Amino acid sequence: MPFISPANRVSKLANKPSDSKAAALHTSDLPRGTGKRYKLRKAAVLIPLLRHADQWQVLYIRRSKNEKDRHSGQVAFPGGACDKGDVDAVDTALRETREEVGIRRDKIRVVGVLPDYETISYFRVTPVVGLLQWPCTMKLQDSEVARAFTIPLDWLMDSSHYELRERPASPNNQGLSTAESKRSTIVYFDEYDGEILWGASARMTLNFLHALRNGDLLIPGYAPPASSH
């Protein structure tokens, strides 16, 4: 199990930018205090980075179509709910990555852990950042993953590539009232390679990018573009 020192755990989102998109940086899609009233299920995802075409890229998946899954067909990170046998969130992220895309844990170097993120579906998700030994063999779990693809890190860093939209009001949205469901905006990135990154995965992406800009996470040989703010 990779050891994550306290220096590699990002405890909070410090030094938020002052521009109009600062509201995009937060760690919960739930109304304030909801996470304390409800028992949130623990989960973890891997934010996988790899070097390809002389640049750092982030690996994403698109989930398979499943009528019983509210996140069916969405762009996401490899990951899922914690199992009883998992040692910690890192163990969960590495296990789920192996199950969903076939990348072995010995091909992943964990470099950091971001603050937990509370999703609208009542999960408390721990994002784990890992560097992939690339190229490496991938085998997608067809029942869970329809496609794996990458987006260049510098493209994601460009704030002109995403926007904030108001969350549609829905009284049936996992028990949230109409007023509660409108509390937070939704992040939508521009389409890239036929895919649209949005929702909780987009929020976690922005939190990851902010940690890079703020120096809380370091990627070998990578310096955030000066114009990325």
Judge whether residue 113 has pLDDT over 80.
Answer: yes
| Fold classification of 35-213 (topology level) | Nucleoside Triphosphate Pyrophosphohydrolase (3.90.79)
Query: What's the rounded Cα separation, in Å, for the pair 98 and 105?
Result: 7
Q: So what's the pLDDT on residue 209?
A: 97
Mean pLDDT, residues 73-85 taken together: 95
Comparing 10 with 182, which gets the higher pLDDT?
10
pLDDT tens-digit profile of 150-177? 999 999 999 999 999 987 665 444 554 5
Q: So what's the pLDDT on residue 188?
A: 96
Q: Domain map of the chain by residue range?
A: 35-213
How far is residue 147 from each of residues 75, 90, 136, 200, 202, measured CA to CA in Å?
9, 23, 16, 19, 17
Asked whether the bond before 6 is cis by omega within 30 degrees of 0, the reply is no
Mean pLDDT, residues 54-67 taken together: 92
Q: So what's the pLDDT on residue 229?
A: 47
Q: So what's the pLDDT on residue 6?
A: 43
Q: Which residues contact 43 (CB under 8 A, 6 or more apart)?
A: 79, 80, 81, 82, 92, 123, 124, 125, 126
Q: So what's the pLDDT on residue 1?
A: 40
